[in-house]
Amino acid sequence: MTDTPARPANTAIRSTGGAKAAGVRQVRPQTEGWQQAKDESGRPLLQFASPKRGKPPVHLADLTPEARVERVKELGLQGFRAKQVAKHYFQHWTSDPAEMTDLPAAGREELVTGLLPNLLTEVRRLETDKGDTIKFLWRLHDGALVESVLMRYPGRITLCVSSQAGCGMNCPFCATGQAGLTRNMSSAEIIDQIVRANRAIANGELGRREHPDERVTNIVFMGMGEPLANYARVMHAVRTMVDKKDGLGMSARGITVSTVGLAPAIRKLADEDIPLTFALSLHAPDDELRDELIPVNSRWKVDEVLDAARGYYEKTGRRVSIEYALIRDMNDHPWRADLLADKLNARGRGWVHVNPIPLNPTPGSVWDASERAVQREFVRRLNDAGIPTTLRDTRGKEIDGACGQLVATEEDQQQAAEAAATA
């Protein structure tokens, strides 16, 4: 999910009631330059079901190893060829039949295109941080646009992936949510973002190489979409990521699933028995504010979501991350830091850490950055209450690739249309 509020705009700040102390400014969430879709009762519309659209072609990465064998047989070859093609795709990151010389020449092209249909067409790429960060814009088979952001850090390479085209969670700060949910992405569309990133790394396209065998080490589901609203496909993709024999062989600990708080799906995730890193984008500890900031809070309130997050820790032993974008005079008050600490400590010690996320300053917007001193005070209060708290890196912002800002521009749409015309 894209989860960091940051919409530049010129709307004047509204000060309203609701603050816990007299004289404390309380800026309320509001959309800027667009209108939230509302339901009959006037509440922001939530979209859980994916609209019906043509499904993407079935790809090897959508299938279990057994189903891959069946598919190869359907294509007229012996079943063991499935493993060969999977090895080319998951270990050498290629979908090019010309590179698969261990397959018989006769029927190779048909086999490979049948198993590895093209899913992502690169429309545009933006680089920053001296080439250490790349934002890819992809066009899917039906013209939908999604993005992934690849980031090199010392000793690790992180890819921020999309799990849905658009999003149905309708957060008022979020560029992705504005147009609603276009559709769920398939497992293979999720996996292919990683394979394509690995290919770019292998080609030396991501900054300065540290060693020749580099590949993506960390995945964060913080691109477009709410991953837990596309649960089955995301989980199939995750299983393929961690599958050492027939998949990408990544470490589960390096994969972060992030959510705005779909409590039943968090509980389900805890039962999967995969030691993923779990991140909850909380952004407010009180329902009064969070109902407006994260509309899905009207379904599952702060306490229920925190209970589900605590349950995740109990089942997996993995410490939970709480993401908290600090927004000037909206959610950055000292009393909110104290309330957050109280709610977390009420559920035990040592199970959680908090990542406050500094925003880009956008003066005049309700989504403005907290002042430095306010950020420091917020962090201090949490740390003093025994909650490990560190300000998060927000790499990628310069290319509009930080979470919460991932949206295709008109220019992107234009380029996608041109790419489609020449495909």
Q: Tell which one of 82, 145, 150, 169 touches ligand SF4 (CB under 6 A).
A: 169
Question: Cα–Cα distance between 323 and 4 in angstroms, integer?
Answer: 9
Q: Where are the beta strands (DSSP E) in 179-314?
A: 181-184, 218-221, 255-259, 277-281
Residue 226 assigned ligand-binding role: yes
Question: Is 292 part of the annotated catalytic residue set?
Answer: no
Residue 174 assigned ligand-binding role: yes
Q: Is 402 one of the binding residues for ligand SF4 (CB under 6 A)?
A: no
Question: Is 272 part of the annotated catalytic residue set?
Answer: no
Q: HSE (CB half, 13 Å, CA atoms) of 47?
A: 22
Question: Cα–Cα distance between 247 and 221 in angstroms, integer?
Answer: 18
Residue 318: closest CA among 252, 261, 237, 223: 252
Q: Which two tokens stand for residue 352?
A: 């959680």
Residue whose tokens read 């104290």: 338
Min CB(81)–ligand SF4 separation in Å: 39
262 Cβ contact partners less than 8 Å away, ≥ 6 residues apart: 226, 228, 229, 296, 300
Q: Is 227 one of the binding residues for ligand SF4 (CB under 6 A)?
A: no
Min CB(166)–ligand SF4 separation in Å: 8
Q: Is 404 one of the binding residues for ligand SF4 (CB under 6 A)?
A: yes
Residue closer to ligand SF4 (CB basis): 200 or 224:
224
Min CB(184)–ligand SF4 separation in Å: 13
Stretch that binds ligand SF4, among 170-178, 339-347, 362-370, 374-382 (CB under 6 A): 170-178
Residue 331 assigned ligand-binding role: no
Q: Tell which one of 61, 157, 237, 260 touches ligand SF4 (CB under 6 A).
A: 260
Out of 147, 189, 292, 323, pick the active-site residue.
Answer: 147
Min CB(227)–ligand SF4 separation in Å: 9
CB atoms within 10 A of CB 39: 11
Question: Cα–Cα distance between 399 and 87 in angstroms, integer?
Answer: 34
x-marked contacts with ligand SF4 along 281-320 as a string, rule CB under 6 A: ----------------------------------------
Residue numbers 1-20 binding ligand SF4 by CB under 6 A: 1-3
Task: Let me know: does 237 contact 247? Beta carbons within 8 Å.
Answer: no
Task: Let me know: does 157 contact 131? Beta carbons within 8 Å.
Answer: no
Q: Is 190 one of the binding residues for ligand SF4 (CB under 6 A)?
A: no
Of all residues in this chain, which one has the CB nearest to ligand SF4 in the complex?
177
Residue 88 assigned ligand-binding role: no
Q: Is 226 one of the binding residues for ligand SF4 (CB under 6 A)?
A: yes
Q: Which two tokens stand for residue 38?
A: 């509302």
Residue closer to ligand SF4 (CB basis): 226 or 368:
226
Out of 74, 403, 410, 418, pick the active-site residue.
Answer: 403
Residue 323: closest CA among 256, 237, 233: 256
Residue 391: closest CA among 324, 309, 339: 324
Residue 167 assigned ligand-binding role: yes
Question: Cα–Cα distance between 265 and 346 in angstroms, integer?
Answer: 23
Q: Which residues partner with 369 through β-bridges?
A: 327
Composition of the chain by helix, strand, coil, percent to 5: 35, 15, 45
Q: Residues at the annotated binding site for S-adenosyl-L-methionine?
A: 225-226, 258, 281-283, 360
Residues annotated within the binding site for [4Fe-4S] cluster are 167, 171, 174
What are the residues binding ligand SF4 (CB under 6 A)?
A: 1-3, 167, 169-171, 174, 176-177, 224-226, 260, 404
Active-site positions read 147, 403
